[in-house]
Amino acid sequence: MLAHYKAPEVSIFDARSKGRFIGLVAEPRKGLNGGHIPHSKNLPFEDLLDGIYYKQVDELKQQFDQFKTPGNEYIFSCGSG
């Protein structure tokens, strides 16, 4: 991760809730620091769902497109590695 987080062609998406992403809500695992990887973008997992199913592909694409990522390499994180 350290080799990639500053690379302009890499986009890091964090799937945790906004509260956990910005460090206002405690992490559920004891001893885990709050906050996020520098330069990462928050896209909460629940925002990708329509009920218990993933949204349609065109809707998901719109959500990712809002970030206007410069590169084509993606890393996804949920706080647990």
Cβ-in-10-Å burial (0-12, 13-18, 19+) of 60 comes to middle
From the list 78, 79, 80, 81, the catalytic residue is 78
- Say what the pLDDT of residue 70 is: 74
The tens digit of pLDDT for each residue in 17-50 reads 999 999 999 888 888 888 898 889 999 999 999 9
Give the pTM. Answer: 0.82
Q: What angle do CA 4, 24, 29 make, to 5 degrees?
A: 70
Q: Does the active-site annotation cover 78?
A: yes
- Say what the pLDDT of residue 34 is: 83
